[in-house]
Amino acid sequence: MADVNRDNRPLSPHLTIYRWQITSVTSIFTRITGNALLIGALLIVWWFVAAATGPEAYARANGFLTSWFGDLVMFGSVAALWYHTLAGIRHLIWDSGHMLGVEQGEKLGLAAIAGAVVLTILTVILL
């Protein structure tokens, strides 16, 4: 029964037809940043394994991570990490039953974007 008529039914309007909203965009972006962080995380694991292996392996991994391309990936990762962290805190607030109104949700979304920008700039300055 479960798969009867799956392809032969009228569909409700989908993503392409709706106006973009701050709530949906920030939600999609949470998912993209969280999953994209795999790349940076695997590079960092490589860096640790290289440091545990010896000086030559470490020089290779450290050289790659501090090259212009490595810098670009690390910059993107830290921006994604701050955004995903703040968006995650937003989810924890929602899970506790607070700030579930539309306007509050929009404010939280904007706060996550602004906070991520500020924290990313701060990280670049400090490190």
Partner 1 sequence: MHYLTDRKRAVGLGSAKSGTMHHWHMMVSSVALVGLVPLFVFTFGAALGGTYEQTVAYYQRPFPAIIAALTLLVGFIHFKNGVMALIEDYVHGFARKALIIAMICTSYTAAAAGVFAVVKIAL
Q: Does 15 bind partner 1 (CB under 8 A)?
A: no
Alpha carbon distance 10, 69 (integer Å): 47
Which residue lies nearer to partner 1 by CB, 31 or 107? 31
Alpha carbon distance 69, 121 (integer Å): 19
Interacting residue with partner 1 among 1, 15, 17, 125 (CB under 8 A):
1
Site string for partner 1, 64-83 (x = CB under 8 A): -xx-------x---x--x--
Task: Tell me 9's DSSP state.
Answer: S
Q: Does 38 bind partner 1 (CB under 8 A)?
A: yes
* Joined tokens for residue 49: 């394994």
